[in-house]
């Protein structure tokens, strides 16, 4: 299963362009940034209203428009995801997380920053 490929089928059916060229410029990229903002606001409102169903819907909608943004910008999301996943997993020392008082997992000496430029090929 690939969320990005599912969204690309939708985009093609809706006469939206897919690109392999990395770019943030264009009307479609602006459209998707606006959609991401809109879906975030709707999800935040649902969260504040304690509406679990609408939060779940909003989260799925956010993933959808984020995948559309990736395909509009030439970003292969799965490659970026794998790099970020590896980086996040480097936060564990001997299989254990070090957390601050609020529960946030901290960055120990084993942590390495994801190399997104390398993944994007720039």
Q: What angle do CA 92, 96, 99 make, to 5 degrees?
A: 85
pLDDT score for 1? 72
Q: Tally Cβ neighbours within 10 Å of residue 39.
A: 20
pTM, 2 dp: 0.88
Mean pLDDT confidence for 42-62: 98
Distance CA(33)–CA(62), nearest Å, equals: 11
Q: What percent of the chain has pLDDT above 90?
A: 95
pLDDT score for 80? 97
Mean pLDDT confidence for 39-67: 98
* pLDDT tens track for 73-88: 999 999 999 999 999 9
Sequence-distant (6+) residues with CB within 8 A of 4 are 67, 70, 71, 76, 77, 78
Do 73 and 19 contact (CB within 8 A), yes or no? yes
Residue-range domain boundaries for the chain: 1-12+19-75, 80-122
* pLDDT tens track for 5-34: 999 999 999 999 999 999 999 999 999 999
């Amino acid at each position: 299963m690939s969320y990005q490929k599912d969204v690309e089928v939708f985009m093609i059916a809706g006469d939206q362009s897919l690109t392999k060229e990395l770019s943030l410029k264009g009307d479609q990229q602006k459209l998707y940034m606006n959609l991401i903002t809109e879906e975030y606001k709707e999800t935040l409102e649902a969260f504040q209203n304690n509406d679990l169903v609408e939060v779940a819907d909003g989260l799925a909608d956010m993933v959808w428009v984020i995948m559309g943004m990736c395909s509009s910008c030439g970003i292969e999301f799965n490659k970026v995801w794998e790099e970020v996943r590896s980086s996040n997993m480097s936060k564990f020392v001997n299989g254990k997380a070090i957390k601050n008082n609020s529960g946030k997992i901290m960055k120990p000496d084993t942590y390495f920053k994801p190399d997104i430029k390398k993944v994007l090929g720039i």
